[in-house]
Amino acid sequence: MTLILPSAKDAAHKAWMFRVLRALADDARLANDLVFKGGTCAAMRGFLDRFSVDLDFDYVGGADEMPATRTRLERLFVDLGLEVRDASTEVPQYFLKYPVKDGERNTLKFEATTLMSVADKREKVRLADIDRVLACHTIETMFAHKLVALMDRYERHGSIAGRDVYDIHHFFLAGFSYDPAVIEDRRRVPARAYLKDLRAFVLRNVTDTVINQDLNTLLSRDQFQKIRHVLKEETIMFLDDEMRRLS
């Protein structure tokens, strides 16, 4: 399944993401050290029906190998014609600028984190959009991390992303399963106890402003109008259903 494009103005961003992914998959060392995950991975695998703008990975190489991995990534970006606008000194995180018309999106975020779970599961997948094979999170691992992300983002950065709520809703609606071991490893509580906390968090903190702030650029206008007024209530409904199932 191809990554959905909500607006023609996002075509350049999609093209640059695919260029980076192809180049990464063609580099055996990088493809071995990085595991593709997150919204773009889920969308490219057909698990998610929205646009996604970042490239997210787990770094699974050794700590002593990270400088070499960074060097290879930075060489890859330069060879593609991308400008590194900013970079983290702690992990391979980059903000990459590409040439576009004035007023259009021109920055791609690339991040390889070491914030993983020992319960994470991965599989090698051929991604049709780029006709390449990459190691990716399984859908069960993706879903579990997305359930954790909504509260984790708030605790770490003080922000709430409407896309996190949307993805949780979409994964429940699609009937996907999550891996409770990932939740329990990251939160140190049983999955049902965490879901109870998550329900209270959604009820208390998810507002129309939160839902509107990034979803309106990641969904088509028709999708956005259909989901915006039911997203919070249905997400709470799904969490209630899941807690009943677990009990």
> Is the C-alpha dihedral spanning 147, 148, 153, 154 positive or negative?
positive
pLDDT value at residue 4: 85
Has residue 2 got a pLDDT over 80?
A: no
Q: Are residues 103 and 153 in the same domain?
A: no
Q: Which two tokens stand for residue 180?
A: 């409770």
Q: Which two tokens stand for residue 208?
A: 């129309």
pLDDT value at residue 177: 98
Q: Are residues 97 and 187 in the same domain?
A: no
Q: Are residues 117 and 143 in the same domain?
A: no
pLDDT tens for residues 23-53? 999 999 999 999 999 999 999 999 999 999 9
Question: Quick one: pLDDT band at residue 103, thresholds 50, 70, 90?
Answer: confident
Distance of CA 181 to the CA centre of its chain: 19
Domain boundary (137, 153, 171) is at 137
Residue pointed to by tokens 């708030």: 154
Q: Which two tokens stand for residue 212?
A: 């509107």
| For range 151-161, the mean pLDDT | 96
Q: How many CB atoms lie within 10 A of CB 200?
A: 13
67-101 as b/e: b if 16+ CB within 10 A: eebbebbeebbeeeebeeeebeeebbbbebebeee
Asked whether 127 and 192 are in contact (CB, 8 A), the reply is no
Q: Are residues 127 and 180 in the same domain?
A: no
Domain boundary (73, 106, 137) is at 137
Give residue 101's identity as a one-letter amino acid code: K
Helix, strand, coil distribution of the chain in percent, nearest 5: 55, 15, 30
Q: Are residues 167 and 186 in the same domain?
A: yes
Q: Which two tokens stand for residue 185?
A: 């490893």
| For range 139-155, the mean pLDDT | 97
DSSP 3: P
Task: State the CATH number of the domain containing residue 118.
Answer: 3.10.450.620
Q: Are residues 125 and 143 in the same domain?
A: no
d(CA 123, CA 114): 18
| For range 129-147, the mean pLDDT | 98
| For range 223-235, the mean pLDDT | 96
Has residue 190 got a pLDDT over 70?
A: yes
Has residue 1 got a pLDDT over 70?
A: no
Q: Are residues 175 and 193 in the same domain?
A: yes
**Domain assignment of residue 54, given as a range:** 1-137
Q: Are residues 129 and 169 in the same domain?
A: no
